[in-house]
Amino acid sequence: MTPIAIPLVRYPHGEGLPLPHHATSQSAGVDLMAAVEESVILRPLTRALIPTGISLSIPPGYEAQIRPRSGLALKNGITVLNSPGTIDADYRGEILVILINLGQEDFIIERGLRIAQLVVAPFTQLQWIEIDQHEDFEHNERKGGFGSTGLK
C-alpha cells in the first residue's frame, strides 16, 4: 500500500502533541488528539468544539472523514456529533471536532486525549441527469424504504 503524502500545519497550541499516526500496519484511520490548553468538562447531553492543533492540505479527489473512537463511545458515551464529519480537499483551517456526551456522567477532555479518528478516502463528484422515471421503477422491490424489508 502506497501512503498518500498530506502536508500538515501544526498550530502553537498543538506543539508537543504527537502527529496523528496509524496505530497498526492495517489501521484505516489515525487518532486525533485534543489540543486544549485547559481541561474541558463535557457534561451529559452537552457538546463542545475541541481543537486538534493541526490543519491539512488534502489532495484533490480525496476527503478526510472524522469518526468516533469506539472505546470512547462504548465506555463513556462520547461520540462525534456530526459523524462522519467531512473535511473537503479545499479546506485549510484547523481541524475541530464536535464531541457530545451521551453518557450519564461528566467526561473530562484533557490535553492529548485521543478524541476521534480521521480517515482519508477518495470521493466521486456527481453529475446529475434528470429523467422522468427510473427504467426499473415498476419492477423494483425497494420502493418502501425506512425498514420496509423487515427486521428479521
CATH number, residue 116: 2.70.40.10
Q: Is residue 19 part of a domain?
A: yes
Query: CA–CA separation, 13 vs 15, rounded Å?
Result: 6
Q: What number is the average pLDDT over the span 67-89?
A: 96
Handedness of CA 104, 43, 53, 12 (dihedral sign): negative
Q: Is residue 152 part of a domain?
A: no
Q: Is residue 2 part of a domain?
A: no
Is 3 among the domain residues?
no
Q: Please give the share of the chain, as a percent, with pLDDT higher than 70.
A: 93
For the stretch 23-75, pLDDT in tens is 999 999 999 999 999 999 999 999 999 999 999 999 999 999 999 999 999 99
pLDDT given for residue 37 in this prediction: 96
d(CA 128, CA 133): 14
Mean pLDDT of 90-105: 98
The answer as to whether 20 is a domain residue is yes
Residue 13 inside a domain? The answer is yes
Per-residue pLDDT averaged across 93-108, rounded? 98
Task: Quote the DSSP letter at residue 9.
Answer: E
Identify which has the larger pLDDT, 133 or 90.
Answer: 90
pLDDT attached to residue 83: 92
- Could you give the 3-state DSSP secondary structure of residue 14? helix
Q: Does the predicted model carry a pTM greater than 0.85?
A: yes
Counted domains in the chain = 1
| Residue 149 resides in a domain | no
Domain limits for position 49: 8-123
Give domain status of residue 50, yes or no. Answer: yes
